[in-house]
């Protein structure tokens, strides 16, 4: 069975879970293991592989890049004041 969007129900559900997981990765201090469990992954390794396949980075790399970008943005804003 294919959805109107051209993906299977399991692919659609995986995409939704990864989208929710990414929000947690970027906007919470939750451990990656907790995020994996909360979004229905069987293990942190499975979560990390699926996340990297979808977003091009591991969850930890994406979290670190987001935090670094946030610090740079804050520093630039301070300079402009």
Report DSSP letters for 52-63, one per residue: HHHHSS-HHHHH
As separate numbers, helices (DSSP H) first and strands (DSSP E) second, the chain gives 4, 0
The angle, 0 to 180 degrees and rounded to 10, between the axes of the packed helices 59-80 and 9-27 is 40
pLDDT at 68: 85
17-74 pLDDT, tens per residue? 999 999 999 999 999 999 999 999 999 999 999 999 999 999 999 999 988 876 655 5
């Amino acid at each position: 069975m294919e959805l109107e969007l051209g993906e299977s129900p399991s692919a659609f559900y995986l995409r939704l879970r990864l989208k929710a997981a990414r929000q947690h990765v970027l906007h919470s201090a939750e451990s990656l293991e907790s995020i994996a469990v909360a979004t229905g992954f069987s293990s942190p390794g499975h979560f990390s592989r699926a996340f990297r396949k979808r977003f091009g980075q591991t969850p930890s790399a994406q979290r670190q890049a987001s935090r670094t970008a946030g610090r740079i943005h804050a520093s630039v804003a301070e300079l402009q004041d």
